[in-house]
Structures are given as structure tokens and as C-alpha cells.
Structure 1
């Protein structure tokens, strides 16, 4: 991957966290299934972090890869469902790939904000993602936690583990302290240069990691952190978000991870959370779903990304969770994205003949 150099010149990495990832895909004992092991590779530091959980963008590409490499046979019709078992978290995924017996169809007209050019839509359904990294949907059991960052700065945050262990911070508590009048002013260029803000967020993330049972996360990318705030435009069911790959490295994500989008969506169903407060309304179920699915627009710097959260009746949950998730207990996720092949061949290890 070229890790150990800021531009990753000696390998395939793109010089930032979101473009320095690897999926190891293998056969499964069940037909139609494959296994996937995800690794986050360092950029300036030559290391590999397997504690970061799953990557929703990488997972979307696993489907086409599995078909192209004869791990899963293409089905008749215009799409093939590839089922994936994560070796990182044990979560299960169903990837609907535009493919037939002729091959995988990559070209199309579907657009994703932040991705250059249209492509064929790839639908990803997620299962078993509640507690994917900690074993608990709410690692602390609470909808909201307070974090004292010193100098009179106390910040509200919600911690959830749904597809990804995520610390969601109320942006209105912290961004004004560092000179931002709104979350819209927190841009990739400005945030990555704002070491004071990133240092405060990393301090909060370190505290949260201990509180949620993930230990000292120094040097690790999990748990992740995001700032959330209400949308500036009213009328839509969603919230604004700025997602950080790792604030300890002053690295904000240019958009939002698919796993993080699901976590934000699930937290939007949690009464008393910073996400529901940013939503500024009670969640409304998708029409025709009998109240079992909720779609939220997650607004990032490049645009809006919709994610759907499937729910079950919270009455079957623990008493506290039944109250916290009165609208419905999040159990599944659904999103649509695109993939495109870039290269195929052999990689040469540094120092090899």
C-alpha cells in the first residue's frame, strides 16, 4: 500500500485514510457466500489496523469482485445477490450487484455525492450490525454522556455501536469554542489544519473509548467520532454531519463512511440522543413499511447521503432500551452506492526480485 510515506508513492494507497484500505476476500462454506477481512492501512505510519471494524464502501465492491473471481456464480436476470460474512465483526451483508450470466455491469446513471461520475447502483443490506464492535448497541447504556474537556468546556455526546462504534458530538457545544459559527464552516481543509479542534476531539474520543469498554484507543482508528447538527434547510428528515477518520491525526473524512451513516441513522431513533436532538423532530417511518423502516439524509460537505434503518418492535427489548427506542429498535441497515474497477494484476513487494 505504500504506507510510511505521506503520498504512499511506493504502493496503491491514495495518501489518506479513506483510500488506504484492503479487503481480503475468500470462499465460504455456503454457496452464494464469501468471507471478507478488512484492514485499515496507515499512511505516514507503516502499520495495519484491524480493529476498525468493517468498511461499508469496501464491502460494496466485494460483490462484484466475488463474481469476477468465480467465488459466487452470477444468477439469471439483471442482478446477483452476494452474501458476505465479515471476519472482523461477524456481521452479515447482502450485496445486490448489477450482474447477469454475461458479467458484472459497472456502467450506469446513479450518482453518489463526492464520487466523480455516475455508475450502476449497488444495494447493500446489513444484518447483525448492532453491537458490531463492542457487543452492545449502547455501549454505556445511556442516550447521552457529558465529557469535561477542561477550561470550562463540557460537551454532550452520544455513543452507539451500530455497524460502527461511533461517538457523536453535539457540534453546537464545541465548534463555537474554536471560532466556527456553524457546522457548515467545518470544512475538510479547515478542520485538518485546526489542530486545536482536533486535539479537543481526540481528548473526547480517548475518554469515550474508555467509557465504552474499548480501552486506550491511542494510535487506533476505532472508535470513530462525528460532529452532528441540525440541517440548515428545514423539511427533510436528516442532520448535518462531519465525520473524522481520526482526530488524533487531524484527519476528517471528505464525506461520511457507510458504516458511520448507519450509526448516525440508528442514533436518530434514540430518544435523548444528540442525533435525535439534531434531527429536531420525531422520526417518521417510510411509507408502506408499517413503521419498520426509517430513512435519514446525512448531510456532509459534498452533499446528502440517504441511509435506511430497519427496526423491530422495541417492546421485546430490555425495559430501558424499550423506552430509549420507543420508535423502534434498530436492527438492519440499507444503503446504495457505486463501485468501479480500476486495475487488475500483480503487486510487487518492496525489495522483492
Structure 2
């Protein structure tokens, strides 16, 4: 055994082409599929082991010091991009949410924030036909989101034949301005699930911690459980420190999320929620109020249509996950949901948009919905993000499979 360990210790590290990118309010390590070791080009243990080692997980210290992760759910992410195998699409995009303290990669959902960087990465990697790319203007990249089998259109600005990354678009939760990337989620509801799993716009969810409370379950962008802040004893103005420093509160919210996942049919037992951390999301909503964002910025009640706070991988998110923002937009577009009720004053906007307040500031999103004999449907949801290459070259890791 000792000889085997010594042999492993003497092996050279693998050198794998990679790009470290910010997309929206998240960061992740991006790979072109063909650049991965052959064993990791297919789903399975080898791929998971590689991505865990790249990010630096599992880390019992919770810091990911020996990897590229940033010790938060927003920065413990990986992306694999390849030329699309789907008709009328440019690239396939696969997202892996890497757990921090466990040897686990969650493939059950998308990352809407990093979606904003996929088009730019694909262009830079030569995965898009040059005939589709304007020298100056907007390149429309049709993305097949492989985790959820959905189409996303990223509108990437180009200048002098290159992706334009810099600009004056400001995104709360991101320190510096950049070029705006509009992202359009086409029919964002899960293909094999109803928009509202139970058929109801509002359900009752039982929690030993909170009692019987109202909930809206929705499959759009990412499966999400919406509840009223007041029924949790919250105001809707919470910041990360208030929630994430309280283990008892986190445990209660995780138990509520697990119960919601069970009622949505996403898991068959409460125990199974431990292996499905990325989905569903749990979020709470409230009517507009004045509050101070984490940056110190004042958010005024008259500047927002509602307040939303969302949990990600067991922690309150510092801003808002892009996929959860799609769920917010979708739920707000359907009269009767808890989100629509909280944003009631915005229900008649001509552009179907809302502005919601989150811990880092505000975000504008929009969705178009219609009702048919089979129920409610979301045609599309739109939001603006930004993206930027932070570093490109190679990551080095020992062979770990």
C-alpha cells in the first residue's frame, strides 16, 4: 500500500486547458469537452473525480484552498461546452455544481449566471461558425442546456471580431461594470414536468419548524419553492450574515426545502434531499420595503416590485441565482402565485417585467406566460447579465481516478 502511495506521489500532474470565467454573479472553471482527459469526456466517476479535484473538494476546512473553488456555492462551479449535437443549436452546455465539503457533483440543474459566459467562451474556443459572427454587433448563440434539455439564446456583443467584455452595464452583486449580455430562456419549464407540479398556484406545506405554511411550487429555470417571508418569521430584508451565521436557522430551512422537494415529486424520501442539494431552490418573498444592501447601497421600496431571498447549497445566496431569477419572473407572470401576490402592483406592466430586491441590490427580469386547457405555460424569460474572462491557460491536477 505504501509503495502505491509513493508511486502516486511521484506522478506528474495533468495539464488541462481551461478558462476561469465570471458569469453574472458566479464564477466557474470552463472546459471544452475535447480538452478533458478521455476518461472524463463521458459522464461517470472519472469526470466527477476530476472536477472535484479541480475545484478543491471535498474540503473539511470549507475553504477549497487546494483548488479553484472560492468556498461558496457561487464559486464552486464547473462548465463543459462542446459543439452541439442538437439541430439548430450551436453548442451544448453542461453544468456541474460542486459540493464544498462532500465528494459530490450535482448535475440536476442549470446555472443561469454562468449561462451568460457560455456564448463568449464558445466564440473564443472556435466552437461557433465564423459565418454566424458579426465583426461588430450582436452574436446570437443558441445554447442547448444539457442538464435540463432546454434552449437558451445568449446575445453576445462583438467588437472588431472579438467578444466585447468591457462596458458600462452594472449588475448588483458584481463590483465592476462590463458589457451587457442578454440571456433568453426559451420555454424554461422542465420538459417532463408541469409548470406547477401539483396543478395548484398555491399549496400548503407542512413543516415541524414553521407549521402549515403557503407555498408556490414551480418548474421554470430551476425547480423552486416560494414561501412568504412573514410565515418564516422573516422580513424579506435579510442579508447573508443574518442567516448563514445561524446553524439552527439553516437546518430549519433545509428541512423545509426537503419537505418541498418531496411534495414536488423530485425525491422519494426526505433522506434523498442530502444527495440533491442544487435543486430545488427555496426562496421567500415579501412586499417592497426600504433596506440597505450588503454593499451599503440603499434600496428604496419604490424602486422594486417585491423582495426575494433565496437559498443555494444550504446558504443564503449573496445576490440571486440566474435560474432562480427565471423562476421569479415566471411565477410573477402568473396571477395567483405567492410571487405575483407580493408583486401585485407590477402585474400590469406593459413589458411583463418586474424588479426585485435581493441581498446585493436589485435585478430586472421578465417573462411571457399564457394559459391553455392544459394549464399555464411560460413562453420565455429574459434577463441581462454580464461575463468576463478572468484567467485562461491550464489547470493542473493529479490523476485522481
Q: Smaller-chain TM-score range?
A: 0.7 to 0.9
Seen in structure 2, the aligned counterparts of structure 1 residues 203 and 151 have a Cα distance that, compared at 3 Å, is closer
Tell me the equivalent position of 2:239.
Answer: 187
CA contact (8 A) 2:89 2:144 kept: no
Cα 1:31/1:128, change in 2 over 3 Å? closer
**Which has the larger displacement, 141-150 or 154-163?**
141-150
**Runs of 5+ unmatched residues, structure 1:** 287-292
How many angstroms apart in 2 are the aligned matches of 1:192 and 1:70? Answer: 41
SS of the equivalent of 1:44 reads coil
CA change 1:77–1:351 in 2 (3 A) is closer
Paired residue for 2:334, among 270, 273, 291? 270
Structure with larger RCO (C-alpha < 8 A, sep 6+):
2
Give unpaired runs (5+ residues) of structure 2: 1-54, 290-299
1:102 is displaced (CA, Å) by 2.3
Secondary structure of the corresponding residue to residue 15 of structure 1: coil
* 1:28 equivalent in alignment to 2:92: no
Regions of 4+ moved over 3 Å: 29-32, 233-237
8 A contact 2:88–2:142 mirrored in 1:
no
The equivalent position to 1:118 in structure 2, one of 159, 171, 177, is 177
Matched, 1:348 2:396: yes
Match of 1:305 in 2: 363
Once residues 118 and 147 of structure 1 are traced to their aligned partners in structure 2, the CA distance between those partners, rounded to angstroms, is 41
TM-score when normalising by structure 1: 0.87
Given that 1:67 and 1:104 are in contact with CA atoms closer than 8 Å, whether structure 2 keeps it comes out as yes
| SS of 1:231 mapped into structure 2 | coil
Partner of 1:37: 94
- Counterpart-to-counterpart distance in 2, 1:296 and 1:337: 15
Deviations 1:261-295 (A, max 9, x none): 11012111333321122113361132xxxxxx410
Q: 1:83 corresponds to which residue?
A: 142
TM-score by length of 2: 0.77
Question: Could you say which structure has the larger radius of gyration?
Answer: 2
- 1:108 matched to 2:167? The reply is yes
Per the alignment, do residues 151 and 261 of structure 1 end up closer, same or farther by CA in structure 2, a change over 3 Å counting?
closer
Quick one: which of 56, 61, 64 aligns to 1:2?
56
Alignment match, 1:335:
383
Counterpart position of 1:227: 284
Secondary structure of the residue that 1:79 maps to in structure 2? Answer: strand
Q: Residue 258 of structure 1 corresponds to which residue in structure 2?
A: 322
2-side partners of 1:102 and 1:114: how far apart? 29
Task: Quickly say closer, same or farther: Cα 1:278–1:341, change in 2 above 3 A.
Answer: same
Aligned equivalent of 2:273, options 210, 217, 232: 217
The alpha carbon displacement at 1:219 in A equals 3.2
Pairs within 5 Å for 1:282-297: 283-286=347-350, 293-297=351-355
Bigger share in strand: 2
Deviation (angstroms), 1:96? 0.8
Q: CA RMSD in A?
A: 2.0
1:108/1:282 CA distance change after superposition, 3 Å: closer
1:165-223 Cα distance to aligned partner (Å, 9 max, x none)? 00011111112xxxx5x221x21011011222222222221111111110132232211
CA distance in 2, matches of 1:18, 1:97: 22
